[in-house]
Amino acid sequence: MIATCSLLQASLGGDERVFSMQDYEGAQARWCSGCGDHAVLTAAQRLLAEEQLKPETTVFVSGIGCSSRFPHYMRTYGFHGLHGRALPVATGIKLHRPDLDVFVTMGDGDCTSIGAAHWIHAIRYNMDMVVVMLDNGIYGLTKNQTSPTTPEGYPSYTQPHGSFLPPMNPLQATLGVTNASFVAQTAEWVPQHLFATLQAANRHKGFSFVRILQRCPEYTPDLFQLAVKKPDKLMLIEHEDGVLVPDLHEIYKNRRSHDPRDIEIGRRLAEQNEPIPLGVLFRDESRPRYEETRRVRKFSAEDKVKRLNEELDTYAV
């Protein structure tokens, strides 16, 4: 149902609002028909409704790319930043407002190419936020250029004879960074698993990195098509401390129990391409979080204005 109490009532402690998925719907999504981003958007809206996250204390941050239009389609706070710079913005938000629920959406190019340095250090900072990388193996918004995760030999406009290099594995990279605390993989065409993975990521205290495999209907429609048609090409990684979706057992017979506290097994699973592993590869809430180890001095609104005026006066002629 629509919220029945005002934000003023909520701020006074009388918050009796109940949110539905529709309460989180922003502008009309303008991705291509059949784009996996639609499934991720639905899963995110379902997650917020399931967890009853308040729109006024929830922030979606993005960079540049098809997936980075996400903040426009959520009725929460949002910041549409520069290419590859979503994580520094999210870090600043969380550092100064640790009470907010922060989500970051990036594409494979936005995260692992121009944003790679920020990605690596954000993993090390381990701030409490959910970071999803929508990986369709191509630069889609700028119309079909090879990205770091494009499969070797896959043609694009920048490399028409096929990608020269083996693709980067974002799971392996994340698991190799000091202080990584949550690493998972899911797929847009398995909506129940997608939702369960995002829910596990949201409930984790720390930097939750989720790689979402998806197809671009314009440029990489065949990238995971075999896995879509043949469920045995996927392997569900299950554990009570990770993701467990019994409703999928009838379709996905290929399953493996894995304790996500075992990082070495998680790393070996991350290397695997067939069958493709879906689930939580690693999770450790004991890792230190930057927003707790670094204290940011708080200023009142009056102090902020005073300090700003003092700074501006420095440059007065």
Tell me the mean pLDDT in the region 210-234. 95
Q: What is the pLDDT of residue 3?
A: 41
Q: Is the pLDDT of residue 229 over 70?
A: yes
Q: Is the pLDDT of residue 1 over 50?
A: no
Q: What is the pLDDT of residue 299?
A: 79
Q: What is the pLDDT of residue 253?
A: 95
Of 257 and 316, which is predicted with more confidence? 257
133-179: per-residue pLDDT in tens? Answer: 999 999 998 899 999 999 999 999 999 999 999 999 999 999 999 99
Q: Is the pLDDT of residue 97 over 70?
A: yes
Q: What is the pLDDT of residue 187?
A: 98
What's the rounded Cα separation, in Å, for the pair 111 and 95?
20
Q: Which phi-psi region, left, alpha or beta, contains residue 58 (left: φ > 0; alpha: ψ -120 to 50)?
A: beta
168-217: per-residue pLDDT in tens? Answer: 999 999 999 999 999 999 999 999 999 999 999 999 999 999 999 999 99
Q: What is the pLDDT of residue 304?
A: 87
What residue ranges define each of the domains in the chain, with the CATH number in brackets? 31-291 (3.40.50.970)
Q: What is the pLDDT of residue 8?
A: 47
2-59: per-residue pLDDT in tens? Answer: 343 445 445 545 678 999 999 999 999 999 999 999 999 999 999 999 999 999 999 9
Q: Is the pLDDT of residue 88 over 70?
A: yes
Tell me the mean pLDDT in the region 273-283. 97
Whether 266 and 260 have beta carbons less than 8 Å apart is answered as yes
Q: What is the pLDDT of residue 10?
A: 53
